[in-house]
Amino acid sequence: MTRRVLVTGGGTGIGRAIAHAFAEAGDTVTIAGRRRAPLEAAADGQTMEIREADVTDEAQVKVLFDTPFDVVVANAGTGVAGRIEDVELADWQHTLTVNMTGTFLTFREALRAGMGAGGRLIAIASTASLQGGAQIPAYAASKHGVLGLVRSVAQGVAKRGITCNAICPGFVDTEMAESAITGLMARHDIPREKAVRMVVGGNPMQRLITPEEVAATAVFLASPGASSVNGHAMSVSGGEI
């Protein structure tokens, strides 16, 4: 049976890879995001529905769920780097609102819309959900919150035959990793090669994770073989966690 899959933040990076993986598996995919151009680019060559929505806006999230989805991937996220002394309150609040509140609203509306038995809720968290980071206090705090939400929702939906899990990637080869690399280059006045080594230093494989590796994990968590995997934080980090 063809499933209906929603991927928030589906226009770029991890979200785009996840959307393509589900489409290639034969599912009917909807990608949502704030900007139409990246969504259209992501859907090029694939049969996908495009929905413009800001996951921090309660009304816009409600509209996304005019009909139920079988699989919902809360991928939309953001991050700000800087030691706590340098983080502005507005940046702190924005990070928590996008990462935590956005995931909360997405999952809440998915369940309110009538997700049935066999449904899958998946949050794209981070290894920052499992450890701290001196340069990413806002991001780490928000992703810890996402994991707490996932574990709580998992307990609440288990008897309904629905699972809720988190994927915790290390640094993935996306725009966010590129921003981290260029930030290190600027702050420390170092060449790109050294900055890349610093970014991947925590990964025993000494490389960036690919978006496709995260996407494959999402497809697994949505598969029948993962029906008893619930409330889990699946690290995709080369052994970092």
Is 90 among the domain residues?
yes
Contact 74, 123 (CB under 8 A): yes
Q: Does residue 67 share a domain with residue 123?
A: yes
Q: Does residue 99 share a domain with residue 65?
A: yes
Is 67 among the domain residues?
yes
Specify the pLDDT at position 174. Answer: 86
Count of structural domains, the chain? 2
Q: Does residue 192 share a domain with residue 147?
A: no
Is 192 among the domain residues?
yes
Q: Does residue 73 share a domain with residue 188?
A: no
Tell me whether residue 108 is exposed, middle or buried, using C-beta atoms within 10 angstroms of its C-beta: 0 to 12, 13 to 18, 19 or more: middle
Question: H or E segment at 90?
Answer: helix 89-96
CATH number of the domain bearing residue 82: 3.40.50.720
Q: Does residue 165 share a domain with residue 54?
A: yes
Contact 4, 27 (CB under 8 A): yes
User: Residue type for 138, please?
Assistant: A
Is 48 among the domain residues?
yes
Is 241 among the domain residues?
no
Catalytic residue among 127, 139, 140, 169: 139
Range of the domain at 103: 4-170+209-235
Is 240 among the domain residues?
no
Q: Does residue 59 share a domain with residue 19?
A: yes
* Ranges of the chain whose pLDDT falls below 70: none
Specify the pLDDT at position 187. Answer: 86
Nearest to 4, CA basis, from 15, 12, 19:
19
Q: Does residue 197 share a domain with residue 127?
A: no
Contact 44, 68 (CB under 8 A): no
Q: Does residue 137 share a domain with residue 41?
A: yes
Specify the pLDDT at position 176. Answer: 80
Q: Does residue 89 share a domain with residue 130?
A: yes
Specify the pLDDT at position 180. Answer: 84
Structure tokens at 157: 């939906």
Q: Does residue 17 share a domain with residue 42?
A: yes
Is 21 among the domain residues?
yes
Q: Does residue 90 share a domain with residue 140?
A: yes
Distance CA 209, CA 174 (A): 9
139 is catalytic: yes
Q: Does residue 113 share a domain with residue 58?
A: yes
CB within 8 A of 185, min separation 6: which ones?
Answer: 191, 192, 195
Is 165 among the domain residues?
yes
SS3 3: coil
